[in-house]
Amino acid sequence: MGRSTRSLFLGILFLLPGVLLWCGCSGSSGVAADVRHSGSAVALVDTTDPRAMKHFIDGITFELGQDPAKAILEFQDALRYSRDPAIYFALSRNYSFIGKHALGIEAGREAVRLAPGNLEYRKSLADVYFTAFQLDSAAQQYEEIIRQDSSDASAWYSLGRIYETRKPLKALGIYEQILTRFGPDWNVLLQVGELYNKQGQYDKAAAALLQMKEIDPSNQPLQRRLAQTYVQAVQYEEALKIYASLRELDPANLEYLADVGGIYLLMKDYPKAAGYFDPILKRDTVAIEVKLRIGQLYYDQVEKDSSLVPLTRSIFERIRVSYPKDWRPYWFLGALAAMSHDDSASAKNFSRMTELAGWNPDGWVGLALSYFGKNNFSEAARVLESGQKQVPNDFRLNYFLGVAYNRLGQANEAARSLEAALKINPKDFEAVAELAMVYDALKRYEESDSLYEIAIVMDHSQRHLALNNFAYSLSERGEQLDRANRMVDTALQAQPENDSYLDTKGWVCFKLGNYQEAEKYILKAIAKSKEKGDPSATVYEHLGDIYYKMNDRQRALENWKAALKIAPDNATLQEKVSRGSL
């Protein structure tokens, strides 16, 4: 391109100053025009071909007119005459505008390859990677920018943001470097505080918020947040100092008053806590949400100190009197009654909640569990059926309904409800284990075994239950007895005194022909079950079968009769006693 053409091009660019932000430094040979705009060095396309320059200028014009599709066509034509990195840079950006990120990445990588020292090209490529959710690749570009120019604060910050959700510890390290290199920054400190908070490092989160307070000492929401973080860090005195200052600034603020009461509650200084809470609870003009929050603070503390149950109950009873049509106090009162094993009070409050808020599954579940506590499974099923009609897609309603049906011996109905629960949450251990037992009872062994296999590999604290149940199922069928023996041994390692597991072990031994071992475990199962209450008919029947195989028919008959007293309608036991044999 001749001198007059370049002068014309520069004139066009000065008429369109926004273009300067979109051009980058050329890495090709020759003289590149170095122009500064808004404090950053920007270069123009370096080409001697006027055709490339014309298409490039036309592309920029279309881009300014928000027509990226036509801009792309012009940049593609420009590349026919010159492989300048600035053209690839512009092409990459416009591909990204129309959502063709793969092509944008391809063009951006070519721009970086041709001009590896141009940091604007790298930033643009990083942006395209980020938009395409290729975060590792975006991070690599920012890391390279920082390697070439460690003073680029925006690159540091962008890198930190990329790592926040995926590599929070690495993000923290980057943000700490930003603070060290560039000094305190509100946004960076905010991110540091949030990340430390999520990591449970509340003392460090508080330190970040304290620096933010130094930047903006009059910010009351920030001071309250700092005080709350001190509470999480168990630095109660520091929190109280901040609240004292806040209350001087705004003495009528009830939230500050409630926060201070909550701190004294955590400190177990109950008289002082009440002194702050009572004025709020007594005011008729205070919104129910504020009063419920106070009750919630007490409720949360009940697990640590059961002596607070009466006081907590009285708070929610006061709220219930003032707001009889609000369902929330009924939920808390029902839950508190359940904690105290007062099933009647629990049922009364949860029942009222279902009347006021039938859309909320918590009420139906709470009411059903109060009947579970009384072993009233038919009433529990009735409640859950009603709840399930109003909230059909709630996991708990379907799960507990399946459990209730199973306890009632309605295996087909139990299977349907549990199958519905697992469609909602296929990874719930309890639902998988329960449905496995139901399929087992229905002799749908292929399906039950499949679920047992899933349950025993789940990382769950009750995994030993699935191991025991699967082992018992296999022993009943006389299949994989060696494996069943290993599984029940693992279950007994978790709960060596569990009478059901001891019975399973004895029965597996029986099936393996180890009758003396079988007798030892079944006798221990009976002894342990007597400590809890009356043993089941099954363990006495098992013991009778063992004695029969040991040729001790008298003791066999004694145990079968003992089992028949517990389960007089059991036809199999009736036949054994009548025949005097297996």
- The model's pLDDT over 240-291, given as tens digits with 9 standing for 90+, comes to 999 999 999 999 899 999 999 999 999 999 999 999 999 999 998 999 999 9
Overall residue count recorded for the chain in this entry? 582
In this structure, the answer to whether residues 544 and 521 fall within a common structural domain is no
Q: Which residues have C-beta within 8 Å of that of residue 518, sequence separation ≥ 6? A: 506, 507, 509, 510, 542, 546
Domain membership flag for residue 8? no
pLDDT in tens, 143-202: 999 999 999 999 999 999 999 988 999 999 999 999 999 999 999 999 999 999 999 999
Low-confidence ranges of the chain (pLDDT < 70): 1-47
Give the C-alpha separation, 319 to 317, whole Å. Answer: 5
Q: 492 with 554, same domain?
A: no
Per-residue confidence (pLDDT) for residue 10, from 0 to 100: 30
pLDDT (0 to 100) of residue 45? 62
What pLDDT score was predicted for residue 459? 84
**Do both 439 and 479 map to the same domain?**
yes
Q: Which two tokens stand for residue 93?
A: 């950006």
| Cα 471 to Cα 282: distance, rounded to the nearest angstrom | 60
Amino acid at 319: I
DSSP count for the chain of H helices, then E strands = 32, 2
Cα torsion angle, 321, 323, 324, 329, sign: negative
Among 488, 508, 527, residue at a domain's last position: 527
516 lies in the same domain as 567:
no
Instruction: Examine residue 72 and state whether it is found in any structural domain, yes or no.
Output: no
What pLDDT score does 46 carry? 62
Long-range contacts of 389-393 (CB under 8 A, 24+ apart): 390/358, 390/359, 390/364, 391/359, 391/360, 391/361, 391/364, 393/424
Q: What is the tally of structural domains in the chain?
A: 2
**In a domain? residue 489:** yes
CATH of the domain at 489: 1.25.40.10
Q: pLDDT at position 26, please?
A: 35
567 and 517 in one domain?
Answer: no
* Domain-located, residue 281: no
Give the span between the Cα atoms of 129 and 104, in whole angstroms.
9
- Dihedral sign (CA 324, 329, 334, 340): negative
441 and 481 part of one domain = yes
Residue 481 and residue 445 share a domain: yes
Can you give the residue range of the structural domain that contains 432?
A: 426-527
Residue 362 inside a domain? The answer is no
Q: Are residues 452 and 496 in the same domain?
A: yes
* Helix or strand holding residue 423 (H, E): helix 411-424
**Those residues with Cβ within 8 angstroms of residue 296's Cβ, 6 or more apart along the chain or in another chain:** 332
Q: Are residues 432 and 523 in the same domain?
A: yes
Co-location of 575 and 482 in the same domain: no
| Count of C-beta atoms within a 10 Å radius of residue 216 | 10
The SS3 call for residue 244 is: helix
492, 509, 527 - which closes a domain: 527
Regarding whether 569 and 540 lie in a shared domain, the answer is: yes
Q: Which residues pair with 35 in a beta bridge?
A: 42
Q: How far out from the chain centre does Cα 148 lie?
A: 39
State pTM to two decimals.
Answer: 0.71
Asked whether residue 440 falls in the same domain as residue 522, the answer is: yes
